[in-house]
Amino acid sequence: MRKPNETMLEPEIEALERDDLLKLQNGKLAALGERLARSPEWVEHFRQAGLKPGDLADRQALAALPFLEKSQLRERYPLPMLGVETAAVQRFCATSGTTGLPVLFGFTASDIDLLARQVARQLYSHGVRPGDRGYNGFGFGLWAGGLAYDIGMAELGVTNFPLGPGRSDLVVEWLKDMAWTLATVSPVFLSSLIRAAKEKGIDPKRHWKLQHAVIGGQSVSRAFRDELEAEMPEGFRSFNTYGTTEAGGPIVASTCPWSHERDEMHLMNEDSVLVEILDPETLTPVGPGEVGELVVTTLDKEASPVVRWRTRDLVRVAEHSGDCPCGRKGMGAIGRIIGRSDDMLKVRGVIVYPSQIEDVVAATPGTVKEAWQIYVDQPGSSPNSLTVAIEQENGYNGNPDDLADAVGRSLTSRLGLKVPVECHPAGALPRYEAKAQRVLVRS
C-alpha cells in the first residue's frame, strides 16, 4: 500500500482542510459571478430568483438560486448559456441526446487545460504514473469521455493508445502485445473483453499486464467490480469514477486505494466543481449516511458553466468524509451512484433502483454479470409490473429455471417484492459498449 502523500498529484489543494477548501470555493464563486454578469442569459436566470450574478460573492446566495435543468437549456437551443463568444470556444462536447436533441457544451482553451489537470489528478490517485501505457476505451466524437482521458493521460505523461470502444478482437490482442497497464473503459465492455480474450485462448490473469482500470459511464455493484478484479493480474484494481458532460466531464468523483476498498469515491475536484447533495423531494441538504441527489456548480469553467445543475444522480453521503488515510481531509466522499431520481421505479408501492437488480445478478453464480434487463409494462416511474431478464454463463451446467429461481428469491429478499425472472442462453441479451440501457418497455 502506498504512503498517503503518494496519492496526491497536487497536495497543496488535495490536502486542504475543509474550512480552507470552502474559502477557496468562496473566492471562485465571487469570480464566477463576475463572469456570469457579462452574459444576458445568466443575468436573466438570476433575475428569476430576485438576484444578480454578483450576489455569488456571498455563498448564501447559492442556496436561493433556481436549479438548472436540461429543459431550460433545450429552450435556448442551439448554444445555451455559453458564457463566452463562440469564437472563444475551442471545441464542443454534448450529452447523449437519448431523450431529445443533444445539448452542446463548449470548452475554451482554458477549459481544456482544466479538464486535463482534473483527469490527471484522478489518474494519479489510482496509482497511474508517467510512462504507464494506457488504452483509452471511452468513446470519442461529441462525448466528453474519450477527450477527457486523451488529454488527462497526456498531462500526466502516460503513453496513450486511443482505440475507443469496440474492436474487441484487436483490443484483447493488444492488451497482451502492447503490455498496457491502464485501461479507461466502461465496466460492461471490460467484462466483454475478458470473455472475448478467453474465447481466443488468452488468459487475462497471465497474459495481460493491466494494473489499473478506470471504469465509468455507469455505476457497477461491488460484486461486479470484485469479479472483474478476480480475472485480472495480481494487484489489479478497477477504480470507479463519476462525472457528467454538464459538470465538465468525468471529473466529479473518483477513488483512491483506500476509498476503493470502502466502495466510495472522493469529490476529488471540489476546488473547481462545487457539489451539493440534496434530498430529491425537499431539495434540502442531506447528512452523512443519507441518500441525496448530486447538484453541481462549475467554478472555473469559462464556456458553458453550470450553476446548481441537477444531475438527477442519487448517492449516499459517506459517514466519515474526512478521515481517509489518503489525507484528503477537506474533500467530501460519496458511495457509488445508486440510481437516478428520474429513473427510480415505483412498482406496487415499492421503490426499485436498477442498481439493486444489478447487485443481485452480480452476486449470483452462473449469471452473465454484464447482461441483464428490466422489462416494464409502461413508460414512466410507476409501472404496474416488472420482469427481470438474465443470461446463464457459457458452461453453466445447471437448470436455467433453477438459476432464475435463485435470482428471483434474492430479489424478493432485497426488494420485498416478488419479481418474475427469465433466464436466457448466453449471448441472447444486448451488450453495451458505453452506458447501458437497462429499463425497457415491453408490451
Residue in the structure block whose three cell numbers are 453464480? 365
Q: What is the pLDDT of residues 23-41, one digit of tens each?
A: 999 999 999 999 999 999 9
CA dist 202 and 199 (Å) reads: 7
Contact predicate 182/133, CB 8 Å: yes
From the list 306, 283, 441, 415, the residue with the least C-alpha distance to 361 is: 415
- Report the pLDDT averaged over residues 72-76: 90
Of how many residues is the chain composed? 443
Q: What is the pLDDT of residues 146-195, one digit of tens each?
A: 999 999 999 999 999 999 988 999 999 999 999 999 999 988 889 989 99
Cis peptide before 78 (omega within 30 of 0): yes
Q: Greater confidence, 133 or 102?
A: 133
C-alpha dist (Å) from residue 249 to 216, 227, 241, 266, 347: 11, 27, 11, 16, 33
pLDDT given at position 1: 41
Task: Give the model's confidence band at 443: pLDDT under 50 very low, under 70 low, under 90 confident, else very high.
Answer: low
Answer whether residue 429 shows pLDDT above 50.
yes
Percent of the chain with pLDDT over 70: 96
CA dist 420 and 252 (Å) reads: 37
Q: What is the pLDDT of residues 265-281, one digit of tens each?
A: 999 999 999 999 999 88
Q: What is the pLDDT of residues 281-291, one digit of tens each?
A: 899 999 999 99
- Report the pLDDT averaged over residues 206-233: 89
Q: What is the pLDDT of residues 81-92, one digit of tens each?
A: 999 999 999 999
Q: Kindly state the helix (H) or strand (E) to which residue 125 belongs, with its residue range.
A: helix 109-126
pLDDT given at position 350: 83
Answer whether residue 228 shows pLDDT above 80.
yes
CA dist 351 and 346 (Å) reads: 5
Average pLDDT, the chain: 91
Task: Give the model's confidence band at 4: pLDDT under 50 very low, under 70 low, under 90 confident, else very high.
Answer: very low
Contact predicate 276/298, CB 8 Å: no
- Report the pLDDT averaged over residues 408-422: 91
Return the sign of the alpha-carbon dihedral for residues 318, 322, 325, 331: positive
Percent of the chain with pLDDT over 90: 70
pLDDT given at position 99: 60
Long-range contacts of 162-170 (CB under 8 A, 24+ apart): 162/136, 163/135, 163/136, 163/137, 164/136, 164/137, 164/138, 164/139, 164/140, 165/137, 165/138, 165/139, 165/189, 165/433, 165/434, 166/433, 168/192, 168/193, 168/196, 169/196, 169/200
- Report the pLDDT averaged over residues 130-139: 96
- Report the pLDDT averaged over residues 95-100: 68
pLDDT given at position 2: 46
How many other C-beta atoms lie within 10 A of the C-beta of residue 412? 13
C-alpha dist (Å) from residue 307 to 157, 210, 311: 32, 38, 11
Answer whether residue 256 shows pLDDT above 90.
yes
CA triplet 274, 275, 278: central angle to 5 degrees?
Answer: 145
- Report the pLDDT averaged over residues 4-20: 90
pLDDT given at position 362: 83
326's grid cell? 489518503
Q: What is the pLDDT of residues 288-343, one digit of tens each?
A: 999 999 999 999 999 999 999 999 899 999 998 888 999 999 999 999 888 777 66
State the pTM of this model. 0.84
pLDDT given at position 89: 97
